Amino acid sequence: MNASTERKLWMYEKMIEIREYEETMVRVYMEGKLPPHIQKGLAFDIGSGPVPGEMHLAAGQEPVAVGVCAHLTDNDTVVGAHRSHHFAIAKGVPLKPMTAEMFGKETGLGKGKGGHMHLFDAAHKFSCSGIVGASMPPACGAALAAKKRGKDWVAVAFFGEGATNQGAFHESLNLAALWQLPVLFVCEDNKYAISVEKTESTSVEWNADRASAYGMPGVLVKENDAVAVYEAAGEAIARARRGGGPTLLEVKTDRYLGHFQGDPEVYRTKGETTTLRANDPIPRIAEQLRAAGELTDAVEQQIRQRVSARVAEAYEYGRASPYPKPEDALLHVFN
Amino acid sequence: MKTRKLTMAQAIAEAIGQEIERDDNVFVLGEDVGKYGGIFGATGGLLAKHGKDRIMDTPISETAFIGTAIGAAAEGMRPIAELMFVDFFGVCMDMIYNHMAKNTYMAGGNIQLPMVLMSAIGGGYNDAAQHSQCLYATFAHMPGMKVVVPSNAYDAKGLMTQAIRDNNPVVFLFHKGIMGLPWMSYFEGSTNEVPEESYAIPFGQAKCVREGSDVTIVTLSQMVQKSILAAEKLAAEGIAAEIIDLRTIVPLDRESVLKSVRKTGRLLVVDEDYLSFGLSGEIAALVGEHLDTVQLKAPIRRLAVPDVPIPFSRPLEQFVIPQVDTIAAAARQIVGARQIEGALA
């Protein structure tokens, strides 16, 4: 499935948005976490500052999110993992309530109850989970609901390569293939399950090969390239929409930052991220678009301006929004 | 209203069938729920009547199918997932307590998960430590799950109907020993008159199944049936026991417990779950926190499994699980106990 210029420009803009959003997060997250704000002797205080808690960012992994979500509508379901901003943005989750959630504010997606790892947007059928491997079973459920209702809606489960060694992966693939559910399993292989390399944890070189064990197509995209992901995902999603069942799509991608902010990254070789960044998919797609005459300076400028305005507005909103009342902690255990 | 006697298994299946007919969103999934009708009969006859789209046998993969129920519920369907034995929750607990129970809260109430997780509890038939637990207090301890534990067919039907219609995750636990299974001894009292038509019993309403003035027995599930037999023995000795069947423990009908203990001044909690950190402690604490308005005539007594896994051998199992005689003995002891020195007059 070839990407139209319009889809390519959409992916480009979304990748810029994700990157700029997360680069802003890198700065905001560090506010108040370093001396002199914190106790002497500590290097870093994770619970301080306007955005407390863990923070997992996806710089470098944007092609997976945009290449898949470029095919999705509001009727399709996406279930992400603990590193999910790129999926959420590509799925259309509005930046303002998403950001407010990370600030723990009343106006957040979950009224401050979930935070960055637990984003729930029913209107855009997006959710994610802080548990590795947990995206897959609920995605099967969304796909089952679509099938039962006779809709051509699909569900996508995103997960990292570390999750493929969880029982949930194998159980879900079996169930989805058995019931021919319209679900796309998307494995982002950034090589590291926190610090442990794939070669140290996974018995096969490519997870896509594991699909054959469940009688479903397995597709491997070795380039960290939005257009390549778009084409592979397009075929799989179209197949699912017409009742052809699930697909396992694995994309080799790169994580430029640590597993979480503050990760000392002792498992990386020196200069590794610099080398990875030399192959940044964002300037690469820009060059491709320019070479094909699909991106002009004027359009580029408009995209940059739009994105900067959206991101800035979201952060201002998150910061300025009020905190929930402390006693609101008691609400929403049940609906 | 036309009624007839049903076993608890038949009553549960009837409730599910009526809700399947009423609402296109309702379906069942689980292991052996189809042709087999559920290992404990909770889906008996439903496949033949409603077909494979509504009664779905799953692979043996609790994480996948309970997670599938969660995903379908988030889309507005009303799945009923059967976890065959509650003891198996260990293989899929992440989906239950990290997702089913918490997603609504973490979403700030912006999503609903209208699903039922039903499962079999209880021992008494020598199935040993991995197939005999109750564990309702474990689910009740963790926020986000309503926990329903019926003691008889009438309640089971009405509570299952309510569970399916509830917009929150409900854990519905049925004791194997009161389902009316042809391959297990059971208590006749659990098989009772059940209306043919659909009805719902609201959660959080305990039932006083026997009135009495001397001692309150707070209990649930199969222990209700055992307590009734114990109360009959006690009555012959001139001790009038009042029995409170909790029916649901999340939400818990605290007022009915307090009201009864205020009347009798004596409390015995009878529980087939483990003793420590569980339901019996919760009920005891409830009364303890209300001693300004409750006058106790004797110390509170708890009868539960004494913090050991359920053993296999018959005398061992019967020793650890409360029996009719041990319930009667405990009640007798409380009623005979001297009032605490210096206690409220």
pLDDT value at A180 more than 50: yes
pLDDT value at A42 more than 80: no
B65 touches A: beta carbon within 8 Å:
yes
Question: Residue A219 falls within a domain, yes or no?
Answer: yes
The structure tokens listed for B56 are 């779905």
Report the distance separating Cα B251 and Cα B80, nearest Å. Answer: 20
Which residue in the set A113, A174, A334 is minimally distant from B59, CB to CB? A174
A333 with B72: Cβ contact below 8 A? no
Q: Are residues B140 and B164 in the same domain?
A: yes
Domain span holding position A26: 5-319
Question: Residue B18 falls within a domain, yes or no?
Answer: yes
Question: Residue A333 falls within a domain, yes or no?
Answer: no
- Exposed (0-12), middle (13-18) or buried (19+): which is A30, by Cβ within 10 Å? middle
- The string of pLDDT tens digits covering residues A80-94 is 999 999 999 999 999
Question: Residue A330 falls within a domain, yes or no?
Answer: no
Instruction: Give the DSSP letter string of B187-201.
Output: -GGGSEEEESS----
Domain span holding position B311: 207-343
Q: What predicted TM-score, i.e. pTM, was given to this entire model?
A: 0.95
Which of these three, B161, B195, B229, is where a domain ends? B195
Task: Give the chain B residue whose CA is nearest to the CA of A114.
Answer: B106
Question: Residue A331 falls within a domain, yes or no?
Answer: no
Question: Residue B202 falls within a domain, yes or no?
Answer: no
Task: Give the chain A residue whose CA is nearest to the CA of B101.
Answer: A333
The structure tokens listed for B168 are 């929150």
Which of these three, B162, B195, B228, is where a domain ends? B195
Which residue in the set A111, A174, A333 is minimally distant from B61, CB to CB? A174
Judge if ipTM > 0.85. Answer: yes
Report the distance separating Cα B122 and Cα B85, nearest Å. Answer: 9
Q: Are residues B120 and B223 in the same domain?
A: no
CATH number, residue B145: 3.40.50.970
Report the distance separating Cα A60 and Cα A37, nearest Å. Answer: 31
Question: Residue A190 falls within a domain, yes or no?
Answer: yes
Question: Residue A325 falls within a domain, yes or no?
Answer: no
A94 touches B: beta carbon within 8 Å:
no
CB B88 within 8 A of CB B121: no
Q: Are residues B170 and B278 in the same domain?
A: no
Question: Residue B90 falls within a domain, yes or no?
Answer: yes
- For chain B, how many structural domains are there in total? 2
B71 with A138: Cβ contact below 8 A? yes
Which of B53, B75, B88, B145 would you mutate first to test chain A, the one with the most A CBs within 10 A? Answer: B75
A113 with B105: Cβ contact below 8 A? yes
Question: Residue B337 falls within a domain, yes or no?
Answer: yes
Which of B70, B106, B171 would you mutate first to test chain A, the one with the most A CBs within 10 A? Answer: B106
- When the pLDDT of each residue in chain A is averaged and rounded to a whole number, the result is 96
Nearest Cα to A51, choosing from A119, A96, A131, A116? A116
Report the DSSP pairing between strands B78-85 and B170-175.
Answer: unpaired
Please list every residue in chain B whose beta carbon sits closer than 8 Å to the beta carbon of residue A155: 71
Please, which pLDDT band fits residue A38 given cuts at 50, 70 and 90? low
CATH number, residue B323: 3.40.50.920
B83 touches A: beta carbon within 8 Å:
no
Question: Residue A212 falls within a domain, yes or no?
Answer: yes
Which of A116, A120, A135 would you mutate first to test chain B, the one with the most B CBs within 10 A? Answer: A120
- The string of pLDDT tens digits covering residues A258-298 is 999 989 899 999 999 999 999 999 999 999 999 999 999 99
Which of these three, B195, B217, B239, is where a domain ends? B195
pLDDT at B345: 42
- The string of pLDDT tens digits covering residues A160-179 is 999 999 999 999 999 999 99
- For chain A, how many structural domains are there in total? 1
Write down the catalytic residue from B50, B99, B131, B175: B131
Q: Are residues B54 and B142 in the same domain?
A: yes
Question: Residue A189 falls within a domain, yes or no?
Answer: yes
The structure tokens listed for A172 are 């879900």
In this prediction, the residues of chain B whose per-residue pLDDT falls under 50 are 339-345
pLDDT at B221: 98
Helices A226-241 and A281-291 cross at an angle (nearest 10°) of: 90
pLDDT at A257: 96
Report the distance separating Cα B120 and Cα A112, nearest Å. Answer: 36
- The string of pLDDT tens digits covering residues B190-242 is 999 999 999 999 999 999 999 999 999 999 999 999 999 999 999 999 999 99
Distance from CA of A93 to the nearest CA of B (A): 14
Report the distance separating Cα A231 and Cα A126, nearest Å. Answer: 22
- The string of pLDDT tens digits covering residues A91-106 is 999 999 999 999 999 9
Q: Are residues B213 and B329 in the same domain?
A: yes
